[in-house]
Each structure stands twice: as C-alpha cells, then as structure tokens.
Structure 1
Amino acid sequence: MLNLKNKNVVLIGFMGVGKGTISRALIKKTKRFGVDTDDLIESMENRKIKAIFDTDGEAYFRKLEKKTAKWLEKNVKNAIISTGGGFFKVDNLDDIGTIVYLRSSFDGILKRLREHENADLKLAKRPLMSDKAKARALFKDRSVLYEAKADIIIDVEDRTIEAIIKEIIAVLKLKTEKE
C-alpha cells in the first residue's frame, strides 16, 4: 500500500489533461478539501495566470509556484491538490503528498480541450498552449519528467471521469462518502 504523505493527493500532468475536473470529482466523492495551485497563485497576486505571464514572465510565475509549494507543505493536510502543468518542478513536491500523474497523449489533450463547451476559454487561459508546435515539444519533454516524479500513473485518455476517480480511489485506498 502506498504511504499517503500528509494524506494529500497531488495531481500532476500536462496543461489541459483534466487535473481540475478530476480534482473536483475526487473532492466530491471523498469529501476532502480541495486546493488548486493556480487558483492560490491568482488569489495571492490578485490577477489571472495569463496576466502574470504577460506582465512578469514565466520565471516570476515559477517563483510563485515555489512559494505556494512551501505553503502547501506546511499548511495543507488530507486534501486533493490540483496543480498547474509546470508545478511538478518544485523542489518539495514529494513532501506535499502522494503524486498522481494523469497521463494522456498530446492529441488526446487537444481533443479534450476542443470538445469542451468553453473550448476557446479553455485554450485562451493556457499561455503556453498558444503555439501548438512549442506546446507539443514541451509536452514531449515533460512527459518523461512527470512519469519520473509520479508515485502512481493513471491513464486518462478516452476514459470517463467516474472511471478515473474510481481507479485513483482504489489504488490509494481513499475513503469515500459511503464509508
């Protein structure tokens, strides 16, 4: 059985893979508290991620992620934590919780985003997805790193949210609302 560090479940994966959606479904099913690292950063800065990238750049945003990671490690227990696509690079990720990599192909992610009812908004709020060729190269580079960081890997492509959360709950032996 996996040791649930801090009893937190940390969802990592490429932007658009469904970390937020799966996180919300897990929160509902397990009755755990939920945290989204991008939401924390937006609250801390009082502006959207895109505005942070546009005004201060990616390097500044990565510093904000590190600050958020330190706070999570010290203050958050027994939660489902959804992260931004690059959050997995923070030094203390292993100390925050059990790392679950949500894996999909790049084309699977694009398909998911394009089929969403708010597709334009979903794509627009991801600054690094604006150039598909660069995004694909970034995906290729990160995929190996996500796998290396993960405590468990869950394939999400062409699967229902229910099937995905059922697998996560089973693998991590999480208590659900019925228990």
Structure 2
Amino acid sequence: MKVILLGYMGVGKSTLGQLLAETLDLHFIDLDSYIEKMEELSISELFERKGEIYFRKAESIALEEIIAKKEDFVLSLGGGTPVYGNNMKNIIEAPGVTSVYLKLNIHHLVEKLFQQKESRPLIAHYTDKIEFEEFVRKHLFERQQFYYMADHVLDVTDKTPSKSLENLIELFNLNT
C-alpha cells in the first residue's frame, strides 16, 4: 500500500501520516524532510538561497522518486505540492498509490495556523487576524481544486488524531 496524504498546511498530514505508518508498519516519509536531506538545506534556507522555483523543481523530483519506490509507504506532502507542475497528475496516475485529502474546517484552520504562524515562513508576517483569514480563504480556494482530485476526502474537523486515524483506516477498509 502506498498512501499519499495531502491538504493545506496545518491540517495534520505529518501527524496522521506517522500514526498511519506506525499502525500499518509502513515507512513514513515527510516530503519536506526528504527534500531537506536531498538538498542539505532546510526548506526556509532553500527558499532563501535558491528561490521558490528551484524548490518546486526539487519538490517534483523528490515526489517522482518516492512514487517510483517499489516498497510501500505513507507520504505526507507539503500543502503546495499538488498545485505545482504535474505533481497531482503524477499522483493520480501512479500505480498502487491512494491519495487522501485531509480537510479541516476553515475556522479551525485559521485559528490553528494563526497560533503557529511564527514557525511557518509563508504566514509568519501576518499580524492582523482578519487579513490572515482572508489570505487563508483565498489560498485554500485556489488549492482546493487540486486537493479534491485525491482518491478520498477525509474531514478531520473536531477529531483527535486517533479518531482521524480510525476514520482513515475505515476509508481503506483495512482490518488492523
């Protein structure tokens, strides 16, 4: 089984991905961590030194490498990964890959991200919550068309990670 979790930043892709991988005894891969090892730079350093276009190319290459792996895995994508290049097309067409869009209610998403903004370079500069919410709404609206191309949609609003894991496993009709 090859599972790819996608969705907006802050929805819990990495947390749920690690839990799913542990439960199914699969290898967990966080795409950003994979790129950091590949490039020997943090994501923020990569953006700073080489720019977003370079990062997006590296991201596409890393995604293709991972999808081509013979062994099973759980992969957590960056929030923007499905939007760039042919990434979503490659995910959809990859044999043996199941993709899941983790969806979080906009209100919960804004609340969570506003509290975490210092640790997220893309949104760290926002100080006004209303302006921040407008950004998230617009950004999510632009990205959702790609997210909804996933094989499954799992709403994680008001769910604990363990409940989301239970729902994800039910989605796959797995008995663990």
- Give the whole-Å Cα distance in 2 for the aligned partners of 1:42 and 1:153: 28
- Give the whole-Å Cα distance in 1 for the aligned partners of 2:175 and 2:59: 29
Checking the alignment, whether the CA contact within 8 Å between 1:11 and 1:83 is kept in structure 2 is yes
5 Å-filtered alignment, 1:51-66, equals 51-66=45-60
- Give the whole-Å Cα distance in 1 for the aligned partners of 2:159 and 2:111: 13
Aligned to 1:15: 9
Deviation at 1:49, TM superposition (A): 0.8
Out of 59, 69, 87, the residue aligned to residue 63 of structure 2 is: 69
Deviation at 1:108, TM superposition (A): 1.3
Deviation at 1:174, TM superposition (A): 3.2
- Give the whole-Å Cα distance in 2 for the aligned partners of 1:174 and 1:51: 40
Cα distance change of structure 1 residues 78 and 12 upon mapping to structure 2, 3 Å threshold:
same
Consecutive unaligned residues of structure 1, counting only runs of 5 or more, are 1-6
Checking the alignment, whether the CA contact within 8 Å between 2:26 and 2:72 is kept in structure 1 is yes
Deviation at 1:164, TM superposition (A): 0.8
Are 2:75 and 1:81 aligned?
yes
Cα distance change of structure 1 residues 76 and 125 upon mapping to structure 2, 3 Å threshold:
farther
Deviation at 1:76, TM superposition (A): 4.8
Checking the alignment, whether the CA contact within 8 Å between 2:110 and 2:136 is kept in structure 1 is no
SS in 1 for 2:68: helix
Checking the alignment, whether the CA contact within 8 Å between 1:50 and 1:125 is kept in structure 2 is no
Consecutive unaligned residues of structure 2, counting only runs of 5 or more, are 127-131
Deviation at 1:143, TM superposition (A): 1.9
Extract structure 1 runs of 4+ deviating beyond 4 A.
none
The amino acid of 2:151's aligned partner reads D
Provide, for residues 105-147 of structure 1, a one-character-per-residue CA deviation record: whole Å limited to 9, x for no partner.
Answer: 3331233345xxxx5xx43342222343434321121123211
The amino acid of 1:128's aligned partner reads L
Aligned to 2:153: 153
Deviates more, 1:163-172 or 1:138-147: 138-147
Percentage of pairs with the same residue: 31
Aligned to 2:129: none
The amino acid of 2:43's aligned partner reads I
TM-score between both structures, scaled by the size of structure 2: 0.83
SS in 1 for 2:157: coil
Checking the alignment, whether the CA contact within 8 Å between 2:3 and 2:75 is kept in structure 1 is yes
Provide, for residues 28-47 of structure 1, a one-character-per-residue CA deviation record: whole Å limited to 9, x for no partner.
Answer: 22111111100000111111
Q: CA RMSD in A?
A: 1.9
Deviation at 1:56, TM superposition (A): 1.9
5 Å-filtered alignment, 1:94-113, equals 94=92, 95=94, 97-113=97-113
- Give the whole-Å Cα distance in 2 for the aligned partners of 1:138 and 1:86: 10
TM-score between both structures, scaled by the size of structure 1: 0.82
Checking the alignment, whether the CA contact within 8 Å between 2:5 and 2:13 is kept in structure 1 is yes
Deviation at 1:104, TM superposition (A): 1.0
- Give the whole-Å Cα distance in 1 for the aligned partners of 2:155 and 2:171: 13
SS in 1 for 2:122: helix
SS in 2 for 1:173: coil
The amino acid of 2:135's aligned partner reads K
